[in-house]
Amino acid sequence: MAIEDKEKLLLSLDSGFPDRVLKTSFFLSLLMIICSLSSVSLISTLSLAIGCFISLGFYKTLWWTIQRAISYRGENQKPKIQRFFLKIGLLKYFTMGAILLSSCLFLDINIIATALGLGIVIIVMMMKIGSKLIVGYVNRAVKVPFKDSNV
């Protein structure tokens, strides 16, 4: 196996990656909100919850749109983007922006907590990809001898 093939396998992501990112982001968001209830003010907790809700909603809508927007007609034909899902994809930007704008106008929110909530999915993605790269590097750097244990 060539070095380029090994690097491609190292950087490739499987089909369950987006769902694992969503689950991890959801549980990390819940953990952060529960921890912020005991240590910071209610306004900061609400700001964090709004940011997490927008981030998770945006990511779920994006992944749903990608899954359904591309339909394959055959093995040799190019994928066709369906217009309905393209409109939904564009509508999500306005919807999430309206939620963020209305929360800024009508609620007294903490901008740092909201930004942390908005970045939760990106943080989880970076952690998952970074951990995969580190594990791949360690597996290549440390060459453990293999013994056949057919006793």
pLDDT given at position 96:
84
Cβ neighbours for 44, distance < 8 A, ≥ 6 positions apart: 36, 110, 113
Which token pair is 110?
Answer: 């903490």
What average pLDDT does the chain have? 80
Question: Per residue in 47-87, pLDDT tens?
Answer: 999 999 999 998 998 888 777 766 555 555 555 666 777 77
Domain ranges of the chain: 18-140
pLDDT given at position 144:
62
Q: Contact, 50 vs 119, CB < 8 A?
A: no
pLDDT given at position 14:
78
pLDDT given at position 100:
85
Residues constituting the chain: 151
pLDDT given at position 119:
93
CA torsion, points 89, 93, 99, 104, in degrees to nearest 10?
A: 170
Q: Rounded distance, CA 9 to CA 7, Å?
A: 5
Q: Contact, 38 vs 50, CB < 8 A?
A: no
Longest dimension (CA), the chain: 70
> 């990809």: which residue's tokens?
129
The whole-model pTM stands at: 0.74
Question: Per residue in 5-52, pLDDT tens?
Answer: 555 555 677 778 889 999 999 999 999 999 999 888 899 999 999 999
What's the average model confidence in pLDDT over 109-125? 91
